[in-house]
């Protein structure tokens, strides 16, 4: 029986290294539960984005516009809310509407106009970022304190952001595994020709996956607006959410070619990155060295998953 690497072993190995390194450096106070929770809590924005990115990758597409969309969502939310608790609901609705529209355009470009997903979403990123920068050049508007509970509140001791992330991940996982749409996603990504012959409307599936992906990015923007108190046109770029969400999705076992992978694997990937960040902070190692480490991890994880396949990749 061939043992294939999966996100489980990757996460386990990373956790072991994390715990080991902390104990060796004599800073065991960082292993207290509240510290571990806070480590994950930092990665909420990345996690939300990555769940959406997973859906896009599952249909053999990709979304490079998420960082720009996150910035636009945060700015839109804080401008509409403008410190007024009564405007929280319209703000959230406006942002979700923006996400849906962007996802729709991305999906149509990829599925109907047959533009390469890399190019289509890269182009959209430029358009969104340009449009945003034309209107605002700094923090704009403000988020009312009530909305900031999304970042500062907690449910049963778990930070609100983490609760949101787990809820979204659970919903996505249920959707993928229990609904018709979910199985269409796997089919359309894994073998589009066969899916089409089987009667699946692959075009619609791809568009749907992109809409969901952009909605997740919009949620991440809302969360960041709550955390920072306002939105600015650079927060998406600062967090490098586009490339990092792809990285954690593939570390978590989702295959770029589509059709294989899942949301929980992606969260495992997010946890691995969060642990790397935290470990380097605690050990006081150069942030530059961390970059080298990250690059190697990404390639190593994907290589581990691909070990043994005979398929040629480009």
Partner 1 sequence: MKAIIAAMLAALAALPALAQNFDDPAEFAQQEAQLAATPMGPEGAPWEQYLEDSMVDTAAMAADGPGPYTVCFSNAGVNNPWRVVGWETMQAQVALQPEIGDFIAVDAEGSDDKQIADIADLVAGGECDILIVSPNTTAALTPAVEAACEALPVIVFDRGVNTTCPVTFIHPVGGYGFGIQGARFIAENVEPGGNVLMLRILPGVDVLETRYSAGRRILEEAGLTIVGAEFTDGDNAKTKSIVEDYIQRGQIDAVWMDAGATAVAAIEAFEDNGLDVPVFVGEDQQDFLQKWQQLGLTAIAPTYPTYQWRTPIIAAVRILQGEPVPGPEWVLPQPAITAGNLDQYVNPNMPPLHYAMCGCEGMPGYPQAWGGQ
Partner 2 sequence: MTLAAPRPFAARLRGVNPVWAVLLLLLLAILLLNPAFAEPQGFMNFLRRAAPLCLLAAGQVFVLTSGGFDLSQGAVVTFTVVGASMLLDNDEGATGWVILVLLAAGAGVGAVNGLVVSVLRVPSLIATLGTMIALGGVVMTWSGGAPRGYLTDGFRAFGRFMWRDVPVVGLLPAALLVLVAGGALLWWLLHATTYGRLLHAVGDNPEAARLAGVPVARVRVIAFVASALSAVVAGVLLGGFSGVSLDVGTGAELQAITAAVLGGTLLLGGRGLVGGAVGGALTLSALFTLLNLLGLPQPVREVAQGLILILAVAFAVRRRGT
* Binding-site member from 127, 163, 175, 228 for partner 2 (CB under 8 A): 127
Q: Does 232 bind partner 1 (CB under 8 A)?
A: yes
Q: Which residues in the 198-227 window bind partner 1 by CB under 8 A?
A: 224, 227
Q: Does 94 bind partner 1 (CB under 8 A)?
A: yes
Binding mask 159-178 for partner 1 (x = CB under 8 A): --------------------
Q: Does 66 bind partner 1 (CB under 8 A)?
A: no
Q: Does 123 bind partner 2 (CB under 8 A)?
A: yes
Whole-number Å distance between alpha carbons of 231 and 25 = 38
Of these partners, partner 2, partner 1, none, which one is at the site of residue 35 (CB under 5 to 8 Å by kind)? partner 1
In the three-class reduction of DSSP (H, G, I as helix; E, B as strand; rest coil), residue 158 is classed as strand
Q: Which residues in the 7-66 window bind partner 2 by CB under 8 A?
A: 62
213: tokens are 């992906």
**Taking the CA atoms of the chain, what radius of gyration do you get in angstroms?**
19
Q: Does 29 bind partner 1 (CB under 8 A)?
A: yes
Whole-number Å distance between alpha carbons of 48 and 222 = 11
Q: Does 1 bind partner 2 (CB under 8 A)?
A: no
User: C-alpha dihedral over 247, 250, 255, 261, to 10 degrees?
Assistant: -130
Q: Does 116 bind partner 2 (CB under 8 A)?
A: yes
In the three-class reduction of DSSP (H, G, I as helix; E, B as strand; rest coil), residue 108 is classed as helix
Q: Does 235 bind partner 1 (CB under 8 A)?
A: yes
CA distances from 98 to 23, 83, 103, 128 (A): 46, 20, 9, 11
Name the strand (E) or helix (H) holding 99: helix 88-111
* Binding-site member from 139, 181, 234, 293 for partner 2 (CB under 8 A): 293
Residue 135 CB, shortest distance to partner 2, in Å, is 8
CA distances from 168 to 72, 156, 191, 217 (A): 21, 18, 27, 12
Of these partners, partner 1, partner 2, none, which one is at the site of residue 118 (CB under 5 to 8 Å by kind)? partner 2
Q: Does 25 bind partner 1 (CB under 8 A)?
A: no
Q: Does 193 bind partner 2 (CB under 8 A)?
A: no
Q: Phi/psi of residue 112, each to 5°?
A: -95, -45
Whole-number Å distance between alpha carbons of 166 and 155 = 12
Task: By CB under 8 A, name the binding residues for partner 2.
Answer: 62, 109, 113-116, 118-120, 122-127, 129-134, 243, 246-247, 250, 256-257, 286, 288-296, 298-299, 302-303, 306-307, 309, 311-314
């Amino acid at each position: 029986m061939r043992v294939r690497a999966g996100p489980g072993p990757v996460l386990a190995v990373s956790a072991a290294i994390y715990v080991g390194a902390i104990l060796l450096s004599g800073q065991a106070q960082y292993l207290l539960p509240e510290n571990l929770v806070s480590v994950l809590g930092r990665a909420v924005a990345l996690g939300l984005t990555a769940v959406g990115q997973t859906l896009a990758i599952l249909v053999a597409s990709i979304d490079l516009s998420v960082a720009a969309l996150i910035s636009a969502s945060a700015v839109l939310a804080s401008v509409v809310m403008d410190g007024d608790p009564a405007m929280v609901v319209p703000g959230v609705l406006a942002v979700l509407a923006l996400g849906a529209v962007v996802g729709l355009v991305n999906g149509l470009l990829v599925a109907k106009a047959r533009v390469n997903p890399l190019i289509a979403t890269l182009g959209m990123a430029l358009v969104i970022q340009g449009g945003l920068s034309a209107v605002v050049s700094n923090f704009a508007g403000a988020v009312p304190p009530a909305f900031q509970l999304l970042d500062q509140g907690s449910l049963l001791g778990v930070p609100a952001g983490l609760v949101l992330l787990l809820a979204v991940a659970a919903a996505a996982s249920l959707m993928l595994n229990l609904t018709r749409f979910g199985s269409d996603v796997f089919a359309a990504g894994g073998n589009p020709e066969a899916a089409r012959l089987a009667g699946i409307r692959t075009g619609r599936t791809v568009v749907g996956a992109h809409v969901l992906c952009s909605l997740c990015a919009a949620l991440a923007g809302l969360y960041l607006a709550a955390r920072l108190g306002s939105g600015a046109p650079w927060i998406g770029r600062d967090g490098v959410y586009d490339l990092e969400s792809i990285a954690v999705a593939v570390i978590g076992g989702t295959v770029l070619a589509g059709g294989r992978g899942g949301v929980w694997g992606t969260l495992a990937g997010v946890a691995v990155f969060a642990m790397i960040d935290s470990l380097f902070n605690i050990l006081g190692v150069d942030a530059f060295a961390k970059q080298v480490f990250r690059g190697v991890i990404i390639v190593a994880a994907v290589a581990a998953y691909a070990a043994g396949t005979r398929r040629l990749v480009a």
